[in-house]
Amino acid sequence: MSGLFEDDDNAALPEPPPSGPGLFGDAPPEPAPQAAAYRVLARKYRPTSFADLIGQEAMVRTLRNAFAMGRVAHAFMLTGVRGVGKTTSARIIARALNCIGPDGQGGPTADPCGVCANCTAILADRHPDVVEMDAASNTGVDDVREIIEAVRFRPMQARTKVFVLDEVHMLSRSAFNALLKTLEEPPPHVTFIFATTELRKVPVTVLSRCQRFDLRRISATELAAHFAAIAGKEGVEISPEAVMLIARAADGSARDGLSLLDQAIAQTPEGQITAEAVADMLGLSDRAALFDLLEAVMAGDTAAALAVTDRAHERGADLGLMLQDLLDLLHTLTRLKSIPALRQSAELPEAERVRGTALAERLSIPVLGRAWQMLLKGVGEVETAPDRKAAAEMVLIRLCHVADLPPPGELVRRLTEPGAAPAPSSTPGGSGGGLRAVANGGVVAQAAPLAVAAPRLPDSFREIAALVSGREAILHGHLVHSVHLVRYAPPVIELRPQPAAPRDLAPRLAALLLDATGVRWTIALSTAAGEPTLAEQGTAADSARRGAAALHPLVQAIMDAFPGARIEAVHDARADAYGLVNDPPPLAESSPDMPDFAPLDADFVDDPSELWDN
């Protein structure tokens, strides 16, 4: 019988709460209190005023002055990376435009009260006159027409009707065009606020109608201070190193950093949040292990370097991310090497200030630059390799094997150094080849221990320009277009620069040639006329080749047969990159195998057999 009155599907449904007294007159039980829904830190601590915004001082200062002077624009374009406060700033502007103060008599202000009806409604996202639209999902003309239609009507409650379009770059071209006229001349009671992460995709016609603010990335120091303050409000203990790790991982985004802080708090429900816990959460390698790895690589100790990676891999670290951390560390060391004042900066962690400074003292800029280039290429290889661990290890092995090699400039200087002591022969009693140690422990093969061959210097200014082209593109362009050669007597070059040439052309060229050839060059500036520029010489040579080709009978016959035809280009296999040809050496008189070419005015031979009459 129970099957007739009971339904198994409804057996699990909760009983409705009692609506009156019980059967015996007792009061109904109190309902169990429900826990309030948790709000993530990024929403809980979202700025509600300009004073709460961090890292955007330029925008805040401009808007405060605009409100104070009554010069608030009718359209704003807020651009920046994700999480820097674009939508938050738009809501603050909407409140500032519509705040009426606690007494209901206030006007537009840069410091909204937060308690009036307009402020509270905008904060709760329920104000009828502040419309937020996601342009990523409303991209068409019809969506924009709804906005244009709504613009015609006055606000229902507020002073100003505000339209906030997020990710505005996602609008279609026709939607942008439909908005232009309204955006240029909106009614006085309407303000547009656009937010985008891809400013280059927004048409210039839209940008010209808006007041633009570029929200910058928030520095790691500002983010770390902000996150530490929020952790204190939440009653959470977090070490400074852990806060800095989160701030760096946030990459300038406050929202991303608060999401990571939320995750770190959830990962460590009790006790202090440590740097090790955050590193494990982010999949980062331990900072000390990273220094151990770099020291092993720069010492050429392959076994030690692979042992560090093995330990990191056992802990679950991604070796691809470890190489990226190594890139970041190399960048930090290069900055420490280039700007010694950074060694006392409070922004750097203790490890960078101590071990980083020591490493920067031992390594030269060329060595750091070479390691950076190899790592940068290696990171790309790891991303495309089927086995990330194996690819990362191969990159580190390559780095270890080049660690003891001197940079090319140092190698050239050592080989061309006058009076360099010869190295002993590599075989007992031998006098032929040998090995010579150089600066960083590298070994260079030496073919003749008794003498070092003098370096070969470029034979012409064109060779100088070609040498520069592979190293500094901008300097090469000035050598081709903005410089007249007056005298070339290596290692002395006398030049007359044009006004367009940079003032530091001479020292830059001298430094580059010293690094490339190992010889000190003198670059003198002159007021003499000198030769035409390489570009002018190339243009003249091309014109001469075109003229010579146009005079050839065969070319003239083709031009006559095809009216309207023209000579597009004349290619000379002997010409260099500047369109110039070196003068060939004179032919020996006793060269019977080299035939003479017929002159341009020679007659054609109708019967080929006539050529063999003699």
Question: Which of 63-77, 540-554, 557-571, 592-606 is the most confident on average?
Answer: 63-77
**Average pLDDT for residues 129-137, to the nearest whole number?**
88
If pLDDT is split at 50, 70 and 90, which confidence band does 25 have? Answer: low
User: Three-class SS of residue 44?
Assistant: helix
User: Three-class SS of residue 180?
Assistant: helix
If pLDDT is split at 50, 70 and 90, which confidence band does 10 have? Answer: very low
User: Does residue 429 carry a pLDDT above 50?
Assistant: no
Q: For the chain, percent helix, then strand, then coil, each to nearest 5?
A: 50, 10, 45
Residue type for 95, please?
R
In this structure, of 3-7, 125-129, 154-158, the range with the lowest mean pLDDT score is: 3-7
Structure tokens at 325: 């951390």
Task: Burial-class residue 477 by CB neighbours within 10 Å (0-12, 13-18, 19+).
Answer: middle
How many CA atoms does the CB half-sphere of 345 hold within 13 Å?
Answer: 15
| Vertex 17: Cα angle to 13 and 19 (nearest 5) | 140
**Average pLDDT for residues 352-364, to the nearest whole number?**
82
Q: In percent, how much of the chain has pLDDT > 90?
A: 17
User: Does residue 12 carry a pLDDT above 50?
Assistant: no
Q: Decide if domain 287-402 falls under CATH 3.20.20.70.
A: no
Query: 49 vs 28, 316, 450, 553, CA distance in Å?
Result: 46, 42, 78, 83
If pLDDT is split at 50, 70 and 90, which confidence band does 16 have? Answer: low
Structure tokens at 19: 């609506």
Is the distance from CB of 205 to CB of 332 less than 8 angstroms?
no
Position 590 scores a pLDDT of: 41
- As a whole number of angstroms, the distance between CA 390 and CA 459 comes to 47
User: Three-class SS of residue 217?
Assistant: coil
Position 442 scores a pLDDT of: 39
Cα 469 to its chain centre, rounded Å, is: 24
Structure tokens at 200: 């280059």
Position 38 scores a pLDDT of: 80
Cβ-count burial 590-604 (b if 16+ within 10 Å, e if not): eeeeeeeeeeeeeee
User: Does residue 192 carry a pLDDT above 50?
Assistant: yes
461-500 tens-digit pLDDT: 888 888 888 778 888 888 889 899 999 988 889 999 998 8
If pLDDT is split at 50, 70 and 90, which confidence band does 610 have? Answer: very low
Count CB neighbours of 199 within 10 A.
16
Is the distance from CB of 425 to CB of 432 less than 8 angstroms?
yes
- As a whole number of angstroms, the distance between CA 149 and CA 360 comes to 63
- As a whole number of angstroms, the distance between CA 200 and CA 204 comes to 9
Q: How far apart are the first and last CA of the chain?
A: 131
- As a whole number of angstroms, the distance between CA 68 and CA 45 comes to 27
- As a whole number of angstroms, the distance between CA 372 and CA 377 comes to 9
- As a whole number of angstroms, the distance between CA 244 and CA 226 comes to 11
**Average pLDDT for residues 507-511, to the nearest whole number?**
89
The listed CATH number (3.30.2270.10, 3.30.300.130, 1.10.10.10, 3.40.50.1170) that belongs to domain 461-531: 3.30.300.130
- As a whole number of angstroms, the distance between CA 252 and CA 244 comes to 12
User: Three-class SS of residue 533?
Assistant: coil
In the chain, what's the furthest Cα-to-Cα distance? 143
If pLDDT is split at 50, 70 and 90, which confidence band does 428 have? Answer: very low
245-263 tens-digit pLDDT: 888 888 888 998 999 999 8
In this structure, of 24-33, 418-427, 560-569, the range with the lowest mean pLDDT score is: 418-427
Position 28 scores a pLDDT of: 57
- Would strands 443-446 and 434-437 be described as parallel, antiparallel, or unpaired? antiparallel
Please name which of 478, 473, 528 lies closest in space to residue 504, comparing C-alpha atoms: 478
Domain limits, the chain:
41-214, 220-282, 287-402, 461-531
- As a whole number of angstroms, the distance between CA 570 and CA 421 comes to 53
Q: Decide if domain 220-282 falls under CATH 1.10.8.60.
A: yes
Crossing angle (nearest 10°) for helices 534-551 and 553-561: 70
- As a whole number of angstroms, the distance between CA 167 and CA 283 comes to 31
**Average pLDDT for residues 434-439, to the nearest whole number?**
41
**Average pLDDT for residues 428-449, to the nearest whole number?**
40
User: Does residue 307 carry a pLDDT above 80?
Assistant: yes
Please name which of 414, 401, 407, 329 lies closest in space to residue 370, comparing C-alpha atoms: 407
Is the distance from CB of 388 to CB of 382 less than 8 angstroms?
yes
Query: 283 vs 141, 180, 223, 260, 323, CA distance in Å?
Result: 45, 47, 20, 12, 12
- As a whole number of angstroms, the distance between CA 506 and CA 146 comes to 63
Mean pLDDT in the chain?
79
Position 37 scores a pLDDT of: 74
Please name which of 128, 31, 47, 41 lies closest in space to residue 87, comparing C-alpha atoms: 47
Residue 114 backbone zone (phi > 0: left; psi -120 to 50: alpha; other: beta): left
Is the distance from CB of 239 to CB of 272 less than 8 angstroms?
yes
Position 6 scores a pLDDT of: 43
How many CA atoms does the CB half-sphere of 553 hold within 13 Å?
Answer: 7
Those residues with Cβ within 8 angstroms of residue 357's Cβ, 6 or more apart along the chain or in another chain: 336, 343
The conformation of residue 237, written as its DSSP 8-state character, comes to: -
- As a whole number of angstroms, the distance between CA 158 and CA 95 comes to 10
Is the distance from CB of 385 to CB of 391 less than 8 angstroms?
yes
Is the distance from CB of 257 to CB of 290 less than 8 angstroms?
no
Would you identify the CATH topology of the domain 41-214? Rossmann fold (3.40.50)
**Average pLDDT for residues 347-352, to the nearest whole number?**
68
Long-range contacts of 385-390 (CB under 8 A, 24+ apart): 388/318, 388/319, 388/320, 389/309, 389/313, 389/319
